[in-house]
Amino acid sequence: MFKSLLAASVAAVALGAFTPLSAQTAQDPSATPDARADALIARMTRADKLQIVFGYLGTDDESRNGYHRPPLALDGSAGFVPGNPRLGIPPQWQTDAGLGVATQGVARVKRLRTSLPAGIATVSTWDPALARKGGAMIGDEAKRSGFNVMLAGGVNLLREPRNGRGFEYGGEDPLLAGVMVGEQIAGIQSNGVVATIKHYALNDQETERDKSSNAIIDHGALRTSDLLAFQFGIEHGAPGSAMCSYNYVDGLRACENPMLLTQVLRHDWNWPGYVMSDWGATHSTVAAANGGLDQESGFPFDVKPFFGAPLAAAVQSGTVPEARLTEMARRIVRSMLRHGVFDTETSDRSDTIDYAAHAEVTRVDAEAGAVLLQNRNGLLPLAASVKSIAIIGGHADKGVLAGGGSSLVYPRGGNAVPGLKPDTWPGPVVYHPSSPMAAIRRLAPNADVRFADGSDPAAAAALARSSDVAIVFGTQWAGESFDVALTLDGKQDALIDTVAAAQPKTVVVLETGGPVLTPWASRVGAVLEAWYPGTAGGEAIANLVFGKVNPSGHLPATFPASLDQLPHTEAPHGGDVHYSEGAAVGYKWYDAKGFKPAFPFGHGLSYTSFRFSRLKASPSADGLTASVTVTNTGRRAGAAVPQVYLSAPSGVQWEAPRRLGGWAKVMLAPGETRTVTIPIDPRLLATWDEPGHRWNVAAGAYGVTVGASAGDLGERTSVSLPARTIAVGWRPASALRP
């Protein structure tokens, strides 16, 4: 009898029936993340905690002293952190990144998955629901590919339009970037995947990013620009993690910077997530751990396993307090618990991915994110009855360009244009096999559609001349670890001029990573910025060119008229980078200087037209609320993006004449009128008060202007507000629970 009872109880314990209360709490989805994390931590030994703060590269890499990934890591992946079976803590399978499930370039076998268009394209939709939907899609592919951490949510401001990674991010305005990237993060995490807002902070260019680059900026300006973007992103997405960046900030490495990692994220914002390093961005044990880094990523990218044996020794000696190690581990497990990693199965079920449905998601995103910059004489949309079309350049007969680096999603169907250089990091140069020309042929089946690759401008011009219309594809390959010129690659500007001289009905379709100079704009008919349009980019471009879809994208970044309009006319460089423009990033700089760009922030044309009227603004509990009436004055349905810009009261100094305060995106039938309400966050009315460590809203009359862009402003009104202070950790009621 006794034996059988003993056997039964042993079995029961093994089955968890008699697990200690804390273990039950830890596994109880109905308990709060904090309660579950506390229960887990109570059972973790020092060794358990040390294990969870140390991450490995998830890919074999012979070039790193013959490195082989841990056995359970998913080959080709960015990272892996072992789990803890005794405590029921799952491993952390980490994948890149913001456009979909990426594969490390050194991996022998690539995961072929669906790619969203570039991050800057998603932000160009100005449609938070679309951003969230795209995040949900790539998070689904991550989860079904066996990942539960997605290193996505790049929100670095486009201070430097030549930033090679600008295509991954959200443009130049903190509100637009933070809201849109935050919504993408929320979408990703809806799959039981922890997302990572990055690269924290001021990794706003690639030159010397992991060597000497030291971002220097006034602290109040930092709070009102890059940090505000992260703050909005955290409030909209509740990311479980943040990735500290390679660069220095005011002389301290970001991953050992107490101001960034402890003061701002924890004390000011009360953010409960964990900070992981970028891959190779950990440079110390004690300074990093005590500064606020919780997890070292991607060993052997770092020169030493700083959070391996050295951390154990530091905790043993007390130079890193045991309590700090406990907090590091607790933040990690709490984020995993908060975002469903414990409660949802993580395994490779990639055979269940619905690629057809996902292609639709990325195509709709690309269509809504393309920006019609110019359309003289209504050249677009083309009629399906057009008789002949010259397609020129940009490998448009084969596919659409993708950006380089860790965010690259390798396409199903393979690289449409293999062999382009560089074919090693930060390459390869990849074209998604979604041919604009093939899609155009499908929409104009009776047209004579011919291709010239652009290598012979005279031949291209001859083809253009003999056609009804010419479509020239202009490309700029950008990518991680390098910055770019503000121009199309090679001699494409000259090619465009040559074609336009031969064919006045010339359309330019741009596939770029960000703004470029457009010296030929006055000599062409229409210009469509498609960015890197992702897996279904060819179809998206064709649908826009033929008007199956009405363009509704708006620029999240200013297109300069010349380089001397930039705050930094010299090319990006290493060493100290003085961001003397402060918070006057992008359009704010142009407004402050009185510069007229080629195409302003917020600009985007439609095949219909809109009128904004009856602007009103009134104080609200939080800040203020604006309302505007939008009318579709054209003959076809379309989506308008009324933008509300704020101005300081007289006598109050902001960084620039105007700040984006809010916007709406509204689809209207021809002749339809609708009034939209736009809430304005109070911090956008405030200045940072360093001594008071808070925001101050001055008493006075605030200007409220509605516009179709920062350069096309309409009705203006004003609202008188009383003085108020806003605590540094204030969050709107709408903020997502962290």
Binding site residues, ligand GLC, CB under 6 A: 78, 96-97, 151, 198, 278-279, 406
CB of 279 to ligand GLC, least distance (A): 4
Residue 97 or 676: which CB sits closer to ligand GLC?
97
Residue 95 or 475: which CB sits closer to ligand GLC?
95
Element spanning 506, H or E: strand 506-511
Q: How is residue 185 written in tokens?
A: 């993060």
Compute the distance between CA of residue 694 and CA of residue 401 in angstroms, rounded to an integer: 44
CB of 235 to ligand GLC, least distance (A): 22
Task: Please work out, in degrees rounded to the nearest 5, the angle formed at the alpha carbon of residue 408 by the alpha carbons of 185 and 293.
Answer: 50
Residue 301 exposure: Cα atoms within 13 Å on the Cβ side: 20
DSSP code per residue over 267-334: IIT---SEEEE-TT----SHHHHHHT--BEEEETSSSS-TTSHHHHHHHHHTSS-HHHHHHHHHHHHH
CB of 165 to ligand GLC, least distance (A): 8
Report how far Cα 361 is from the mean position of its chain's Cα atoms: 17
Residue 119 or 161: which CB sits closer to ligand GLC?
119
Q: How is residue 254 written in tokens?
A: 């970001």
Nearest to 602 by CA among 677, 523, 714: 714
Instruction: Please report, to the nearest 10 degrees, the dihedral formed by the alpha carbons of residues 253, 256, 258, 259 taken in order.
Output: 30
Residue 107 or 390: which CB sits closer to ligand GLC?
107
CB of 405 to ligand GLC, least distance (A): 7
Contact 366, 536 (CB under 8 A): yes
Compute the distance between CA of residue 677 and CA of residue 713 in angstroms, rounded to an integer: 18
CB of 228 to ligand GLC, least distance (A): 21
CA end-to-end distance (rounded Å), the chain:
51
Helix (H, G, I), strand (E, B) or coil at 605: strand
Compute the distance between CA of residue 303 and CA of residue 138 in angstroms, rounded to an integer: 32
CB of 211 to ligand GLC, least distance (A): 13
Q: How is residue 321 written in tokens?
A: 């307090």
CB of 360 to ligand GLC, least distance (A): 27
Question: Does residue 511 come out as left (phi exceeding 0), alpha (psi in the -120 to 50 range) or beta?
Answer: beta
CB of 98 to ligand GLC, least distance (A): 8
CB of 104 to ligand GLC, least distance (A): 7
Element spanning 129, H or E: helix 128-144
Task: Please work out, in degrees rounded to the nearest 5, the angle formed at the alpha carbon of residue 94 by the alpha carbons of 102 and 729.
Answer: 110
Would you say how long the chain is, in residues?
738
Cα→Cα distances 10→37, 85, 87, Å: 26, 18, 17
CB of 718 to ligand GLC, least distance (A): 43
Residue 97 or 155: which CB sits closer to ligand GLC?
97
Residue 109 or 356: which CB sits closer to ligand GLC?
109
CB of 295 to ligand GLC, least distance (A): 13
Residue 182 or 404: which CB sits closer to ligand GLC?
404
Q: How is residue 647 written in tokens?
A: 């101005």
Element spanning 233, H or E: helix 226-237
Q: Which residues pair with 81 in a beta bridge?
A: 92
Largest CA distance in the chain: 98
CB of 254 to ligand GLC, least distance (A): 12
Peptide bond into 229 cis (omega under 30): no
Residue 279 or 532: which CB sits closer to ligand GLC?
279
Residue 102 or 678: which CB sits closer to ligand GLC?
102
Q: Which residues pair with 275 in a beta bridge?
A: 242
Residue 198 or 568: which CB sits closer to ligand GLC?
198
Residue 144 or 198: which CB sits closer to ligand GLC?
198
Q: Which residues pair with 161 in a beta bridge?
A: none
CB of 78 to ligand GLC, least distance (A): 4
Compute the distance between CA of residue 257 and CA of residue 262 in angstroms, rounded to an integer: 8
Helix (H, G, I), strand (E, B) or coil at 680: strand
CB of 256 to ligand GLC, least distance (A): 17
Compute the distance between CA of residue 32 and CA of residue 45 in angstroms, rounded to an integer: 22
Residue 151 or 194: which CB sits closer to ligand GLC?
151
Residue 198 or 358: which CB sits closer to ligand GLC?
198
Report how far Cα 544 is from the mean position of its chain's Cα atoms: 23
Sign of the alpha-carbon torsion through 661, 275, 402, 346: negative
Compute the distance between CA of residue 342 and CA of residue 85 in angstroms, rounded to an integer: 12
Residue 271 or 279: which CB sits closer to ligand GLC?
279
Residue 231 or 241: which CB sits closer to ligand GLC?
241
Residue 294 or 591: which CB sits closer to ligand GLC?
294
CB of 106 to ligand GLC, least distance (A): 11
Residue 406 or 503: which CB sits closer to ligand GLC?
406
Residue 547 CB neighbour total at 10 angstroms: 16
CB of 639 to ligand GLC, least distance (A): 32
CB of 406 to ligand GLC, least distance (A): 4
Letter for the amino acid at 551? Answer: P
CB of 210 to ligand GLC, least distance (A): 8
Task: Please work out, in degrees rounded to the nearest 5, the angle formed at the alpha carbon of residue 737 by the alpha carbons of 731 and 738.
Answer: 90
Compute the distance between CA of residue 159 and CA of residue 182 in angstroms, rounded to an integer: 19
Residue 134 or 602: which CB sits closer to ligand GLC?
134
Report how far Cα 103 is from the mean position of its chain's Cα atoms: 18
